[in-house]
Amino acid sequence: MKRTRRLRVNESMRALVRETTVSISDLVYPIFVVEGKDQKNEIPSMPGIFQWSLDRLPEEMERVKKSGVKAVLLFGIPAHKDEKGSEAYNPDGIVQRAIRQIKQFDDSIVVIADVCLCEYTSHGHCGLIHGQEILNDETLPLLAKMAVTCAKAGADIIAPSDMMDGDVMTIRKALDENGFIHTAIMAYSAKYASGYYSPFRDAADSAPCFGDRKTYQMDVCNGREGIREVQKDIEEGADIVMVKPALAYLDVLHAVSEITDYPIAAYNVSGEYSMVKAASIHGWIDEKRIVMENMIAMKRAGAKILITYHALDVAEWLKGMEK
Ligand code: PBG
Ligand code: ZN
């Protein structure tokens, strides 16, 4: 008889034939930085995740260091927003200062700067607007300026999340022209117009004040188009490509892994985090088990890099499993 149970008899045997693992080095931890002093504001829809002012950021960075996680993804929340998102490309803006501070704290941490205007614009859209229209080509130079200021501040990776056409190409050119030939680009390639971002929009105060993001983010019904977006970003010079959200888009993640050998990141977004947190707070699920299962699912589908608000917990659990 074919007996598949032979390889499941005990943990050592299961570990021997295990196809997928998660390592601390796969993890990226998102951090929100805010203007002001003595701020550690918990995001109500994201228990355990805070907005940090820079004077208190060292507390969070000590936790990161202790966990062993070596990469962070930064989002800035400025004090003043305007039509053009000026604070996004201020060389002394909140995110640029945070980058410098983290690099001073520990140069070996990979600092990834999210590049987009929505946290900085008064209207909350990812690009410039004219009336109700989101302007593509007029937005590109501003994204390039933000990318260059972040690279100057010490960012290792620039991650454009704006979904404007030509963003990766424009940013690559600007980085190169300014001498940042080794600053990598992680493109939010297959980024869907998803309902799973709503807790993030509370965290970053970035909800659009009119309309939605469906003229620039992808239609949730399209899988094949995700591959086209990835191919386009690779042609434009992306070093790492991303699928976002992760868990409702594992089909896209897997399809992408079949067509490219570039590193793939999966973004386990705010809404995915909040759902797990809410159910575990109620005692309806076992948080650790569910989170680890979700991490494995993303890796099994083809991701190398896991961007997740659970990163520090996952790191602690992985250390616990080694013992
Ligand atoms: C900014 C940006 C968003 C996220 C990452 N970068 C929000 C959005 O596009 O509305 C979402 C992250 C999350 O939900 O965790 N463009
Ligand atoms: Zn945006």
**pLDDT of 263-272, one tens digit each?**
999 999 999 9
Q: Is 99 in the pocket of ligand 1 (CB under 6 A)?
A: no
Could you tell me if the CB of 200 is within 6 A of ligand 1?
yes
| Residues 202-207, mean pLDDT to the nearest whole number | 89
pLDDT tops 60 at residue 93: yes
Rounded CA-CA distance 159/14 in Å is 37
Closest-approaching ligand to the CA atom of 200: 1
- Give the whole-angstrom CA distance, residue 126 versus residue 119: 8
- With contact defined as beta carbons under 8 Å apart, do 295 and 308 qualify? yes
Mean pLDDT of 187-213: 94
Contact 230, 256 (CB under 8 A): yes
Q: Is 126 in the pocket of ligand 1 (CB under 6 A)?
A: yes
Average pLDDT, the chain: 97
**Does the pLDDT value for residue 103 go beyond 60?**
yes
**Catalytic residue set:** 191, 244
**Does the pLDDT at position 241 exceed 70?**
yes
Ligand 1 atom closest to residue 119's alpha carbon, by position in its atom list: 1
Across 307-315, average pLDDT: 98
Rounded to the nearest angstrom, the distance between the alpha carbon of 49 and the centre of ligand 1 is 15
Nearest of 227, 16, 249, 216 to residue 118 by alpha carbon: 216
Residue with CA nearest ligand 1 atom 2: 161
Q: How many angstroms separate the alpha carbon of residue 206 from the centre of ligand 1?
A: 9
Ligand 1 pocket test target in 74, 120, 134, 197 with most atoms within 8 Å of CB: 197
76 near 146, Cβ under 8 Å?
no
Say if residues 208 and 125 touch (Cβ distance below 8 Å).
yes
Query: Which pTM value belongs to this model?
Result: 0.97
Structure tokens at 244: 């976002």
- Contact status, residue 267 vs residue 242, Cβ threshold 8 Å: yes
Question: Which range, of 160-164, 205-209, 220-224, averages the lowest pLDDT?
Answer: 205-209
pLDDT at res. 205:
85
From the CA of 269, give the closest atom in ligand 1. 15
Q: Sorting pLDDT into bands at 50, 70 and 90, what band is 10?
A: very high
- What is the per-residue pLDDT for 228? 98
Contact present, 81 and 118 (Cβ < 8 Å): no
Please tell me the distance from the alpha carbon of residue 256 to that of residue 303, in angstroms, as a whole number.
9
Supply 315's token pair.
Answer: 């790191």
Does the structure show a pLDDT above 80 at 322? Answer: no
Atom of ligand 1 nearest to the CA of 162: 16
218, two tokens = 């992808």
By most ligand atoms within 8 Å of CB, the mutation choice from 75, 116, 125 for ligand 1 is: 116
Across the range 80-86, mean pLDDT stands at 97
Q: Note whether 183 and 151 are within 8 A (CB).
A: yes
Quick check: CB of 43 below 6 Å from ligand 1? no
Backbone angles phi, psi at 265, to 5 degrees: -105, 145
Residue 294, burial from CB neighbour count under 10 angstroms (0-12, 13-18, 19+): buried
How many residues are recorded in the chain?
Answer: 323
Indicate the SS3 state at residue 296.
helix
- The answer to whether the CB of 112 falls within 8 A of the CB of 103 is no
Whole-angstrom Cα distance, residue 283 to residue 7? 32
The secondary structure of residue 98, as a DSSP letter, is H
Structure tokens at 38: 């003595």
- Residue 55 in contact with residue 34, Cβ under 8 Å? no
Distance 119 CA to ligand 2 centre (A): 7
214 burial class (0-12, 13-18, 19+ CB within 10 angstroms)? Answer: exposed
Greater model confidence, 148 or 206: 148
Rg (CA), the chain: 20
Contact, 93 vs 153, CB < 8 A? Answer: no
pLDDT, tens digit (0-9, with 9 covering 90-100), for 34-79? 999 999 999 999 999 999 999 999 999 999 999 999 999 999 999 9
pLDDT tens for each residue of 189-199? 999 999 999 99
Per-residue confidence (pLDDT) for residue 321, from 0 to 100: 83
DSSP result, 268-289:
E-HHHHHHHHHHHHTTSS-HHH
Which residues are CB-contacts of 89 (< 8 A; sequence separation ≥ 6)?
142, 145, 146, 149
- Ligand 1 atom index nearest CA of 114: 6
Residue 323 pLDDT exceeds 60? no
